[in-house]
A = this chain, B = another copy of it.
Amino acid sequence: MTLTNSLESRLGYQLRRASAVMMADLGRELAELDLRPAEVTTLLVIADNPDCSQTEVGQALAIKRANMVPIISRLMDRGLVDRRRLDGRSHALTLTDQGRKIADDALARIDRHEARFAELLGRPDSEVLFRCLPVIRAARDVELDA
């Protein structure tokens, strides 16, 4: 009744399944904040880079310009992000006080979630992962726009 699956020996498949498990776990951790993963990551990038632009956030997160629009829009509607005109076409993004509070809370939750998995893996293996995953990304990081 348990099926064999030759995909189990493929790295891409294992990566996808592992990533799905961590995303689901993160989702549970963030559900109370009513924030989607894409919104949280956006919030954290703005926290790290006050006065950055929407396009820059997208570049940091591999999210296309067009797809940043509804994310920023929702964060502003909720009073977590503020923006200030720079020149006629670009904005400088910052967190509001509320946004900073939520970002801090989110980061604490992320780190609880991370700790659960780090403990599972142990120190030396974690280090290999942190060395290998960027190598995979660098192979051809998601190309933004065309």
User: Residues on A close to B: CB < 8 A?
Assistant: 1, 3-7, 9-26, 41, 44-45, 47-49, 52, 56-57, 59-62, 107, 110, 113-114, 116-118, 120-121, 125-126, 128-137, 139-142
Inter-chain contacts of A118 with B (CB < 8 A): 11
When all copies of this chain in the complex are counted, the total is 2
Q: How far is the CA of A132 from the CA of B49 in the complex (A)?
A: 33
In the complex, A136→B23 CA distance in Å?
11
Instruction: List the B residue with the shortest CB-CB distance to A17.
Output: B137
In the assembly, what is the distance between CA of A60 and CA of B3, in Å? 6
Contact in complex: A12, B128 (CB < 8 Å): no
Q: Pick 13 A–B contacts, CB within 8 A, sort by A.
A: A3-B56, A5-B48, A7-B41, A10-B114, A12-B19, A12-B114, A14-B129, A16-B23, A20-B62, A21-B139, A117-B139, A120-B136, A121-B136
